[in-house]
Chain A
Amino acid sequence: MRATLYSLAAGIAVGIVFHYVLYRIFLPLEPFIYVAF
């Protein structure tokens, strides 16, 4: 039972991190304004 709960919790964490990673990978590395001006 405990192993099942841990597995579920690990899956939940990975799902959230994966969604957050999608947000982060499309952000620019350096703000445009510092590149252009």
Chain B
Amino acid sequence: MDHWLPKPGPFFAGMVLSFLACVLAGRYYSQHNIFRDDLARFHMKTSSEVNFFPTPSQLLRFAEHRIPADRIGVIVGGSSVLHGIAQRPEYLWSKRMQDLLGDRFRVINVSSRGGAPHEYGNWVSEMLLKKRRRVVHVSDIFPCYYMSYDPAGLQIRDFFWAARARDLLLPDWPERAKRLEQVKLERAAERAKEPNPRLMAILDARLNFNDLWGSFRYLHFGTFYSPLLAPRLSTLFMPLRYQEDVEEVAPPIPARYLRANLRREMHILSELSIPCADGPLRKMEEDFASSISPQVRHVSVFLMQDNSPYFVNQLSPQQQRQLRENSRISAEALERYGVTLLQGDFLDETDFADRVHLTEEGGAKLAQRMSVLVREKARQAYGENP
């Protein structure tokens, strides 16, 4: 039986040509916005949970598309609290904030579930500041605890390295440069076992494979299996832009807190109410200073995460006082870096969907308070009265 073998000349010519065509197609997608105009957030089915990671170029083009040069961009990053778990997209707090701020501001929400304070939102702010655009950065943080030791991030380190490889971020400042070196040395053994994000970033900056295939998945055809996308065959292969943002609202109060794991939540609260004035506070400050650039700090408003009074009221009076004290000293420490802090103590039991996430009513209150601080920050930073 004869085996067909391709002729080497045409075979390699086809291979090189198609590979180059892919590189050029990726370059095209890296220069154009691919995201929907009505995108409220990167919901569960367009997020890392289905292995979809927006690239730096994609988010930069999205931000530039949504924020005209004569408007002030409000870039919402941070964790699931600002992502709006338990808030439907049409009632999302950042949409309400957009309504309150008016046309002079353009709000985009790039926060992620499990996101650290300096991930997408901070890096999009860096990219825009580097292009001399006017932005206010909004994020959230725990008292005395910073989620990530690594300035390259907690769950999306590839994004940071990809943005650096394309020279999209602000220059390093001493704290970030020093911490990146420390992380590199400490994680050398661990990194040997996984794909090197720096190598990926350098390759991708030249070959654009993340921009091409990420865009292809988002715009044209689902190429990746995930249980979240697979209730039906049609949704498995559906382009991610058509995946629905489904978020369950919190049930009425009695049922809402009955389903909570009380023991687990009280354990977390007990940990948060241990005095933190020495070690943990200093560590939080160091992590913060190595992750958020001085330029971004001065245009940042942070929500100090609070806890539902339903749980807090079950702590002893001394623990409750200490919890408030931890929150106060953390806010004071961050304010020394130029950040504006919003304490979450204006929220009551009905505003929480669980221990930390906000209901749509809580989100409306947050939008109201945050919009005042964003306006004030813009006035301070850009010397005008927007």
B17 near A15 (CB under 8 angstroms)?
yes
Interface of A: prevailing SS: helix
- What's the nearest-Cβ distance from chain A to residue B14, in Å? 3
Which residue on B lies nearest to A37, using beta carbons? B114
Q: A19-B23, A32-B114 are in contact. Are A8 and B14 (CB under 8 A)?
A: yes
Which residue on A lies nearest to B196, using beta carbons? A26
Which residue on B lies nearest to A16, using beta carbons? B18
A11 near B10 (CB under 8 angstroms)?
yes
What CA separation (Å) do A20 and B216 show in the bound complex? 11
A23 near B212 (CB under 8 angstroms)?
yes
Q: A19-B207, A23-B214 are in contact. Are A10 and B6 (CB under 8 A)?
A: yes
A22 near B209 (CB under 8 angstroms)?
yes
A12 near B15 (CB under 8 angstroms)?
yes
B155 near A36 (CB under 8 angstroms)?
yes
B14 near A9 (CB under 8 angstroms)?
yes
What CA separation (Å) do A25 and B210 show in the bound complex? 11
Indicate with 1 or 0, residue by residue over A17-29, a CB within 8 angstroms of chain B CB atoms: 0111011111110
Contacts of B9 in A (CB 8 A): 7
Interface residues of B in 204-230 (CB under 8 A from A): 204, 207, 209-210, 212-214, 223-224
Contacts of B214 in A (CB 8 A): 23
What CA separation (Å) do A4 and B8 show in the bound complex? 9
Q: A19-B212, A20-B209, A23-B213 are in contact. Are A32 and B14 (CB under 8 A)?
A: no
Contacts of A16 in B (CB 8 A): 18-19, 22
Contacts of A28 in B (CB 8 A): 51
Contacts of A22 in B (CB 8 A): 203-204, 207, 209
B195 within 8 A of A: yes
B48 within 8 A of A: yes
A4 near B10 (CB under 8 angstroms)?
yes
Q: A11-B11, A12-B15, A32-B48 are in contact. List 16 more A-B contacts (CB 8 A).
A: A4-B7, A6-B6, A10-B14, A11-B12, A11-B17, A13-B14, A14-B15, A15-B14, A19-B207, A19-B209, A20-B22, A20-B223, A26-B158, A32-B114, A32-B154, A32-B156
